[in-house]
Amino acid sequence: MTIKIQSAEALCAKALEIRREIIRMLGEAGSGHPGGSLSCADILAALYFNAMNYDPKNPKWEDRDRFILSKGHGAPALYAALALAGFFAKEMLLTLRKLGSPLQGHPDMRRLPGLEASTGSLGQGLSIGVGCALNQRLMKKNYRTFVLLSDGEINEGQTWEAVASAAHFKLDSLTAILDYNKFQLDDSTKKILDFEPMADKWRAFNWAVREIDGHNMKEIVEALAWAKQVKNQPSIIIAHTVKGKGVSFMENNNEFHGVAPTREETAKALAELARAASPGLPDPAAGGGLNKLGEK
Ligand SMILES: Cc1ncc(C[n+]2csc(CCOP(=O)(O)OP(=O)(O)O)c2C)c(N)n1
Ligand SMILES: [Mg+2]
């Protein structure tokens, strides 16, 4: 049964849970990509706990909505969402990147239920999404296809072949979401290959475009609902995000693109996320929860 949460507050709580699991997983694995996993946590919470239809007990249900993580290195965020949605036991998350685990560093659809595509080689996911959307039309199914792209990834030319085809075939069951966190592996997207004006480019290719704050849950949910009623063209939600969102020392700090937190950093990040979930909790950095008088 699909989980459908309507309240933005409850969806934000799910996003926080996803962030906590990302940090726990990466801290345990000692490798992986925190920045781009954290930037898409709110989007994944909205997809898996509000917008999408699926059945974790029947992951191959023909009418399920398809989600393709084209930015495959963001796998920890997707694994956390899938576990919280009931596709597999939460305990499995801590096997991330371990030899023999179905939770590989990049998604392997042959080994983990709930994955629609094996990704990680950037630039391929939107083409897979075009295929899913064409299948939906040919087989007269009712499902939608969502593809999460990253802003460095769309430097890949294959993405734009898919952008052109999706519009040509008027694939209105296809929605792309761009995790526009303004950083790629080496530096800012502006310095490496600037795609501004971003929205104009997608419009010129005949896509319906909506720009949002990718950390504002209400805006994400509304944009996903908007995408469902777009007709005769594919839709893109350009989500302005912050790389490393939710952990102060990772935000806009591209050193955490592909480096896992140390043991100390993991503890610090988890404490921050716990305080975000329960703002009353003491801040160890500010004296371990004691006030200026040394009282609890
Ligand atoms: C085809 C391909 N080239 C290079 C890489 C190595 N790589 C992994 S992540 C990354 C950049 C990621 O930046 P972005 O796409 O913006 O992702 P995010 O900021 O969301 O982490 C690169 C170049 C890859 N995975 N695939
Ligand atoms: Mg990026």
Say which amino acid occupies 96: L
Please give the average per-residue pLDDT across 157-168, as a whole number.
98
Looking at residue 282, its pLDDT comes to 77
Say which amino acid occupies 41: A
Q: Which atom of ligand 1 is nearest to the CA of 258?
A: 9
- Complete domains list, the chain, with CATH: 8-22+34-92+101-254 (3.40.50.970)
Looking at residue 114, its pLDDT comes to 97
* Count of positions (residues) in the chain: 296
Q: How many Å lie between the centroid of ligand 2 and the Cα of residue 181?
A: 5
Residue ID of nearest Cα to ligand 1 atom 21: 36
User: C-alpha distances in angstroms, 46 versus 60, 63, 69, 253, 288?
Assistant: 21, 19, 14, 25, 34
Percentage of the chain surpassing pLDDT 70? 95
Looking at residue 291, its pLDDT comes to 36
* Pairwise CA distance, residues 62 & 65, whole Å: 9
Q: How many Å lie between the centroid of ligand 2 and the Cα of residue 39?
A: 9
Q: Which atom of ligand 1 is nearest to the CA of 155?
A: 15
The residue with tokens 């990509």 is: 33
Q: Which atom of ligand 1 is nearest to the CA of 185?
A: 11
Whether pLDDT at 288 is above 50 = no
Please give the average per-residue pLDDT across 39-61, as a whole number.
98
Tokens read off for 199: 């929205």
| 281 — pLDDT class (breaks 50, 70, 90) | confident
Whether pLDDT at 196 is above 50 = yes
Q: How many Å lie between the centroid of ligand 1 and the Cα of residue 73?
A: 7
Q: Which atom of ligand 1 is nearest to the CA of 106?
A: 25
Whether pLDDT at 289 is above 60 = no
Looking at residue 217, its pLDDT comes to 98
Whether pLDDT at 219 is above 60 = yes
Q: How many Å lie between the centroid of ligand 2 and the Cα of residue 241?
A: 9
Give, as one character, the DSSP assignment of residue 155: G
Looking at residue 1, its pLDDT comes to 62
Distance of CA 115 to the CA centre of its chain: 13
Q: How many Å lie between the centroid of ligand 1 and the Cα of residue 202?
A: 21
Looking at residue 284, its pLDDT comes to 65
Ligand nearest to the CA of 106: 1
Ligand nearest to the CA of 122: 1
Percentage of the chain surpassing pLDDT 90? 92
**pLDDT tens for each residue of 132-151:** 999 999 999 999 999 999 99
Tokens read off for 296: 């609890």
Looking at residue 285, its pLDDT comes to 64
Pocket test of ligand 1: the residue of 40, 44, 122 to mutate, having most ligand atoms within 8 Å of its CB, is 122
The residue with tokens 């504002």 is: 216
Exposed / middle / buried, residue 13 (Cβ in 10 Å: 0-12, 13-18, 19+) = middle
- Report the DSSP pairing between strands 145-150 and 174-180: parallel
For residue 123, is it left (φ>0), alpha (ψ between -120 and 50) or beta? left
What average pLDDT does the structure give for the chain? 95
